[in-house]
Amino acid sequence: MLTVDGLAVRYGRVAALREISFDVQEREIVAIVGPNGAGKSTTLAAITGTVTPHAGAITYLGKPLIGQSPERIVREGIALVPEGRQIFASLSVAENLQLGTTPRSDRGAAREDLDRILERFPILGTYYRASAAKLSGGEQQQLAIARALLARPRLLLLDEPSLGLAPIIIDRVFQTLVELRETGMTVLLVEQNATRAVALADRTYVLRTGRVALSGDREELLRTTDFAAAYLGSS
């Protein structure tokens, strides 16, 4: 579904990504893990069109993405749940959800999707007319995922979804991703919590200083990898 080939991104003279390559197959959960500053969020920014790569190629369903606007990329079927959730606290839960349908013209189908979303995340129905500021961190993460799903993506990107959440809430968020995969969703997950991400994902890529330092499937990585060493570059 998604192929990243030789992707390089620079911020001035600083190389954020150094010719990384990876792929995401349909109905997979693929994780990108690594320490702060490894280039994880920059990878998602390049895919979603908010930064322009210095070199390399990104293709989605065989079509090139580089040079397309973020709005067009959403319409092509890629949605992002950003780091920190970026919920609009001054708006209601309903208004935040409505923003997710902005790229769509099929208003009737969008209304049906909203009904299904509220069934999946019943807490959002409970607080539907309330300010999003009243939601807890875990509830705001549910709202951020629901908002992205209302764009009806085929590929869902998530940037650090466990950030700042209690362990029990992280369990619920990750279980939601498993359920979404079972419905046919493809997921690309960026996460600093490597052990949790690897246990969830079908395959994982470990980034270090802008390069892919290690990759493998769930069983292989959980059996063989010391992630502290992988992060630090030790043997």
CATH code of 213's domain? 3.40.50.300
Alpha-carbon distance of 212 to 194, in angstroms, equals 14
How far is the C-alpha of 210 from the C-alpha of 34, rounded, in Å? 10
Strand partners, 22: 4
Total domain count, the chain: 1
Query: Residue 139: how many CA atoms within 13 Å on its side-chain side?
Result: 18
Beta carbons of 42 and 9 less than 8 angstroms apart: yes
Q: Quick one: what percent of the chain has pLDDT higher than 70?
A: 96
Asked if residues 101 and 80 have their Cβ atoms less than 8 Å apart, the reply is: no
pLDDT at residue number 36: 87
- Rounded percentage of the chain residues whose pLDDT exceeds 90: 76
Q: How confident is the model at residue 220 (pLDDT cuts 50, 70, 90)?
A: confident
| Residue span of the structural domain in which 151 resides | 2-232
Widest pairwise Cα distance in the chain: 56
Give the number of C-alpha atoms closer than 13 A to the C-alpha of residue 206, restricted to the C-beta side: 23
Section 190-208 average pLDDT: 91
Question: What are the pLDDT digits (tens) for 110-131?
Answer: 889 999 999 999 999 999 999 9
Query: d(Cα 118, Cα 131) in Å, to the nearest integer?
Result: 16
Structure tokens at 140: 């705001």
Helix (H) or strand (E) run with residue 214 in it: strand 211-217
Closest C-alpha to 124, from 139, 144, 106: 139
Cβ count near 175 (within 10 Å): 11
107 vs 134: which has the higher pLDDT:
134
Alpha-carbon distance values, 5 to 55, 105, 228 (Å): 9, 33, 27
Residue 51, helix vs strand vs coil: coil
